[in-house]
Amino acid sequence: MRHDILIADRILPADTLPLEVAVVVPTLNEAANVEKLIAKLSVVLAGRGWEVVFVDDNSPDGTSELVRRIGRGSRHVRIVQRVGRRGLSSAVVEGILATAAPVVAVMDGDLQHSEDALPRLIDAVAGGEADVAVGTRYGAGGGIGDWDEGRARMSRLATRAGQIALGTDVSDPMSGFFAIRRDAFERALPHLSAIGFKILLDILASSPTPLKVAEIPYRFRTREAGESKIGARVIAEYAELIADKTIGRVVPVRLLKFLMVGGLGVFVHLAVLRAVLGAGSAFVTAQTVAVMTAIAFNFFLNNSFTYADRKLKGWRLVGGLASFYAISALGAVANIGIGTWMAGHDERWWVAGVAGVVVGAIWNFAMSSALTWRK
């Protein structure tokens, strides 16, 4: 302790307050908003030891370079630039890990989160009364700005789904505007999914002990510059986060997706079988065509759905498909072998059948994730 103080005394310029709070701001093409945001932060955080850490996913509009330019003139402004990476949640996690501050606030870089609420968020956790303080759009004095009825309804629905799935009564668990004490964050850290957009929900659901939450209402502002990144992908990632935080505790979500794709493959198989038989082919020909088609179908769907994060492209698709055929062939052999062995040990035909399918499916999953879509 004493040692820390000595070091700090030597390296801190005399006019620098000890670092009390960091504001972590994930950005993707927010160059038009960065300067205004920093100016607003320096007003509401005046008198505190603060810094802002932008975590920018290498925005083509030059957000990183702009922040760096401002950072040369002010120790309050820092940047983490990520290359070849995407994702709001993971950006926030890395921003929090990049700062020494004991309290971290998270806010969007597009000025939609009202900075007036920031001091209240920080103070609610700094003193220890709460572990997390959440900026809520739904309490008295809060608001969702000028969202149209469609988006408002969707947001309410998603909020409800999150509350039910995670058994939380926080009014706005989807909020991207909150403050948290470092110790509370670190307890949740090893259990985070860090999938998609909803880092607060992730933290609340991942914490091994329930977090004490304070709610601070604020009015969500209209975005004036730049564009929202909400889209089909954000919605899919939200569903995935919820799945990971509920059923994912028992079965990995990736395996579930793989099994869903396999289930669809059965329908593809039957449809092709019927069509080829209908065209007058012998059963053995039709069955072969159906198997080959279903495997290819499973490969492409797994490639863009189950393994979207390791998606094979270009020539690597060819090698991937070949390895998937080989693995599936061995999986079929295992399926038949186990099924036949089981049939000799159990009266019920379907038990043997299911045993074969389960072993074959797990084989296919394990091998294709290790070989076809290896990291």
Q: Which of 164, 230, 279, 336 binds ligand GDD (CB under 6 A)?
A: 230
Alpha carbons 16 and 38: distance in angstroms, whole number: 18
Task: Report whether 257 contacts 306 (CB < 8 A).
Answer: yes
- Collapsing DSSP to helix, strand or coil, 216 comes out as strand
The residues in 104-143 that bind Mn ion, with binding defined as CB under 5 A, are 110, 112
Find out whether 375 and 310 touch, Cβ atoms under 8 Å.
yes
Query: Which residue in 77, 55, 96 sits closest to 180, CA to CA?
Result: 96
Does position 112 interact with ligand GDD (CB under 6 A)? The reply is yes
Q: CA dist 39 to 52, 115, 309, Å?
A: 11, 11, 37
The least CB distance from residue 220 to ligand GDD, in Å, is 6
Q: Using CB atoms, what's the residue nearest to ligand GDD?
A: 176
Task: Give least dist CB 106 to ligand GDD, A.
Answer: 9
89 sits near ligand GDD (criterion: CB under 6 A): no
Is 108 near ligand GDD (CB under 6 A)? Answer: yes
Does the footprint of Mn ion cover residue 89 (CB under 5 A)? no
248 is a site residue for ligand GDD (CB under 6 A)? no
Q: Which does 99 bind (CB under 5 to 8 A by kind): Mn ion, ligand GDD, none?
A: none
Query: Please, what is the minimum distance in Å from the beta carbon of residue 223 to ligand GDD?
Result: 6
**Interaction between residue 331 and ligand GDD (CB under 6 A):** no
* Total chain residues near ligand GDD (CB under 6 A): 24
Which CB, 144 or 358, lies closer to Mn ion? 144
Residue 131 binds which of ligand GDD, Mn ion, none (CB < 5-8 A, kind-dependent): none
229 touches ligand GDD (CB under 6 A): yes
HSE-CB for 306 with a 13 A CA cutoff = 25
Out of 174, 180, 195, 216, name the contact with ligand GDD by CB under 6 A: 174
Would you say 112 or 328 has its CB closer to Mn ion? 112
Please answer whether residues 144 and 137 qualify as being in contact, where contact means their C-beta atoms are separated by less than 8 angstroms: yes
Q: Concatenate the DSSP letters of all residues of 313-344 into one string.
A: -THHHHHHHHHHHHHHHHHHHHHHHHHHHHHT
Structure tokens at 156: 């309410």
Give the residue carrying structure tokens 């000890």.
Answer: 18
Q: For residues 74 and 51, give the distance between their C-alpha atoms in angstroms, rounded to a whole number.
A: 9
Q: Where are the alpha helices (DSSP H) in the chain?
A: 2-11, 31-44, 63-73, 88-97, 118-126, 149-166, 182-188, 199-206, 232-245, 253-278, 283-301, 315-343, 349-370
* 91 lines the binding site for ligand GDD (CB under 6 A): yes
Q: How far apart are CA 74 and CA 54, in angstroms?
A: 14
Question: Under rule CB under 6 A, which residues in 10-69 are in contact with ligand GDD?
Answer: 26-28, 30, 55-57
Segment contacting Mn ion (CB under 5 A): 24-32, 85-93, 103-111, 298-306?
A: 103-111
Q: Which CB sits closer to Mn ion, 26 or 320?
A: 26
Please tell me the distance from the alpha carbon of residue 78 to that of residue 54, in angstroms, as a whole number.
6
Give yes or no for residue 180 binding ligand GDD (CB under 6 A).
no
> Closest distance between Mn ion and the C-beta of residue 39, in Å?
19
Whole-number minimum distance, CB 301 to Mn ion, in Å? 32
Q: What residue ranges bind Mn ion (CB under 5 A)?
A: 110, 112
Q: What residue ranges bind ligand GDD (CB under 6 A)?
A: 26-28, 30, 55-57, 86-88, 91, 108-110, 112, 174-177, 197-198, 228-230
